[in-house]
Amino acid sequence: MSQTFDVIVIGAGPGGYIAAIRAAQLGLQVACIDAWTNAAGGAAPGGTCTNVGCIPSKALLQSSEYFEHAQHHFAEHGIGVGTVKIDVPRMIARKDAVVKQNNDGILYLFKKNKVTFFHGHGSFVKAVEGGYEIAVTGAQPATLIGRHIIVATGSTARALPGVAFDEERILSNDGALRLQAVPKKLAIIGAGVIGLEMGSVWRRLGAEVTLLEGLPTFLAAADEQIAKEAKKAFDKQGLTIELGVKVGEVKTSRKGVAIAYTNAKGEAVTLEADRLIVSIGRVPNTAGLNADAVGLQRDERGAIVVDDECRTNLPGVWAVGDVVRGPMLAHKAEEEGVAVAERIAGQHPHVNFNTIPWVIYTSPEIAWVGQTEQQLKAAGRAYKAGTFPFLANGRARALGDTTGMVKILADAQTDEVLGVHIIGPMASELIAEAVLAMEFRASAEDIARTCHAHPSLSEATKEAALAVDKRTLNF
Ligand code: FAD
Ligand code: NAI
C-alpha cells in the first residue's frame, strides 16, 4: 500500500528539512526521507551540516579556541590556570552531544509541523499519474507517491584520484571531526574552507599542521587584501601553507602517510605525517537516487541540472542545496528550500545569490558578501573603498583581539554598497548587518548615518562606511 503526499523531500539536510517544514507551514501534506544513521542506529536528520559539517566543526573550533585562550591569553587578564590539558575524547563527546541536540531538534520540528519523517533511503521508482513513486528502503520501508518531489541529497567529500578515504590515516571531513587524539603531524591537502577550519582546530591543540594548496593564490575567492591579511595571521599562528603545489603519490603505512608533491619552485618533496585530511571540494550526491528511472538530468559533475527557480527537467521535481549549482553553503540550501516550498504553494519568492554571505570560522574569522575589489576591477566598475582596522576599535582592544579590518566597497557614483569584507573578531556576526544593508540596496552613507552601540565591534563597520567618504572619526 502506498501513501500519498503533496510533497516528498529526499534528504533532511538544511535544504531538505527546511523545505519540508516550510511546505508543511503552507498547508501541504509533506513527507521527508533521510538515510543518515547515528552510532546507535537511530535517525540523525540534519545532513552533512548537522552531522559532519557546520555544527560539529564549530563545536571543535570553540573547544580548541578556549584551549588556546587558556594556554596563551588568560595570563594577561590576570587569570592563572596552571598547566592546561586537553582531553580529546571528552571534547569529541561534547561535540557529539551538540550534534545529537540538533538531530533531536529537527525530529521535534518535524512533529510540531506535521511532517511525516521516514528514516531510510529514498529512490525514484517511476513517474505515475500526477506525480512520482518513491521507494523508501532501510529502517522504515515504504512506498510513497508524491505530487512534487524535492531532491536535497547534498554532497560528499571529493577524494584524490586513486586515494580512497580510510578515515584512519586518510580523512575526509568525517574522520577529521572524530580523531580521538591530537596527531603530532597533520597534513592537509586543499587550503580552502575545511582545510583552514580543521587545520586551525588541530593546530590549536598542538598538531604541527601543513596545508598543501594547488592554486598559486591563497583564498582566491576572497578579496585580495583580506586574503593577504589572513595569510599573515595564519603564518604567525604557525600554520604552514604551501601554495602552488602539485600532489603526486600518497602512500600509507602503519606509521602514517607520506605525500609526494612538487612545490611551487618545481622541487620534488615528500611530506611525512601521522594523518592526512583531504579537503579539495565536494561532489553532488545523486548516487542511489535511481535518477535514470525517471530521466532526471545531471551535468558532467553529477549535479542535478536546475533553472534559477530550482526546477529540474522533470515537471514537479525540484532540487536544492549542494546537489545543484551554486555555493555549497547551508544557508544557501535553506533559502532554496524555502523558495521551492513557496513556489509549490503558488507564491513567487526569489533567492538573491549576490547577498549570500561567506564565512570562514578561523581566528581571525573571515566573512564577506557581494563583490570583491578584484571582481569590480575586472568588471570595470567605478568604486570607492573604505577600510577601518579593529586596532582602532575600543571593543576589540578590550577583547584583546585587534587583528583585521572591515572593508566596504561602494559604487563611485551612487554610493550603493557593492561588497563588504571583514577579517577579525566575530566577523561571522558582523557580516549580517552588511547582508541586510545590501539586501535593502543601502548606500555606504546609510550605514555611516546609522547609530551603532558603543563600544561594539560593529562600530568598525560604521567607521569603514565613513571611510568610504574619507571621514573616519576614530582613525
Ligand atoms: P546535506 O546537508 O548534505 O544533506 C543531504 C542529506 O540527504 C543527508 O542527510 C544524506 O544522508 C541524505 N541523503 C542523500 N541521499 C539520500 C537518499 N537517496 N535517501 C535519503 N536520504 C538521502 N556551510 C555553511 O554554510 N556554514 C558552515 O559553517 C559550514 N561548515 C561546513 C563544515 C564542513 C566540515 C563541511 C563538510 C561542510 C560545511 N558546510 C558549511 C557546508 C554545508 O554542510 C552544506 O552546504 C549543507 O549541508 C548542504 O545542505 P544540503 O541540504 O544540500 O545537503
Ligand atoms: P574548498 O573549495 O573551500 O577548497 C578546496 C581547496 O582545495 C581549494 O583551495 C582548491 O584549490 C584546493 N584543491 C583542489 N584540488 C586540489 C589538489 N589536487 N591539490 C591541492 N589542492 C587542491 O573546498 P573544501 O574546503 O573541501 O570545502 C567544501 C565546501 O564545503 C566549501 O566549498 C564550502 O562551500 C563548504 N564549507 C563551508 C564552510 C563555511 O561556510 N564556513 C566550512 C567548510 C566547508
Sheet holding 275-278, edge to edge: 170-171, 275-278, 185-189, 208-212, 240-242
Ligand nearest to the CA of 19: 1
Q: For residues 109 and 98, give the distance between their C-alpha atoms in angstroms, rounded to a whole number.
A: 17
Q: For residues 130 and 55, give the distance between their C-alpha atoms in angstroms, rounded to a whole number.
A: 38
- List 69, 350, 421, 454, catalytic entry: 454
Q: 3-class SS at 340? A: helix
- The helix or strand, by DSSP H or E, that contains position 399, with its residue range, turns out to be helix 394-399
Q: Is 373 annotated as a binding residue?
A: no
Q: Is 176 in the pocket of ligand 2 (CB under 6 A)?
A: no
- What tens digit of pLDDT does each residue of 136-165 get? 999 889 999 999 999 999 999 999 999 999
Do 409 and 376 form a contact (C-beta atoms < 8 A)? Answer: yes
72 assigned to active site? no
Do 201 and 360 form a contact (C-beta atoms < 8 A)? Answer: no
3-state helix, strand and coil shares in percent for the chain, rounded to the nearest 5: 35, 30, 40
pLDDT of residue 53: 98
Do 444 and 465 form a contact (C-beta atoms < 8 A)? Answer: yes
pLDDT above 90: residue 293? yes
The predicted complex's ipTM stands at 0.99
Ligand nearest to the CA of 45: 1
Amino acid at 198: M
Domains and CATH numbers, the chain: 3-156+283-351 (3.50.50.60), 170-279 (3.50.50.60), 355-468 (3.30.390.30)
Do 5 and 316 form a contact (C-beta atoms < 8 A)? Answer: no
- What tens digit of pLDDT does each residue of 193-248 get? 999 999 999 999 999 999 999 999 999 999 999 999 999 999 999 999 999 999 99
Q: For residues 366 and 460, give the distance between their C-alpha atoms in angstroms, rounded to a whole number.
A: 15
pLDDT of residue 422: 99
- Please tell me whether the overall predicted TM-score, pTM, comes out greater than 0.80 for this model: yes
Return mean pLDDT, the chain.
97
Q: Can you tell me the mean pLDDT for 371-381?
A: 98
Ligand 1: lining residues by beta carbon, under 6 Å:
10-16, 33-36, 47-49, 53-54, 57, 121-123, 152-155, 173, 194, 285, 288-289, 321-323, 328-331, 333, 361
What is the Cβ-side half-sphere exposure of residue 223, based on CA atoms within 13 angstroms? 28
Q: Can you tell me the mean pLDDT for 325-333?
A: 98
Residues 6+ apart with CB under 8 A from 158: 278, 280, 281, 282, 283
Going by alpha carbons, the residue nearest to atom 28 of ligand 2 is 281
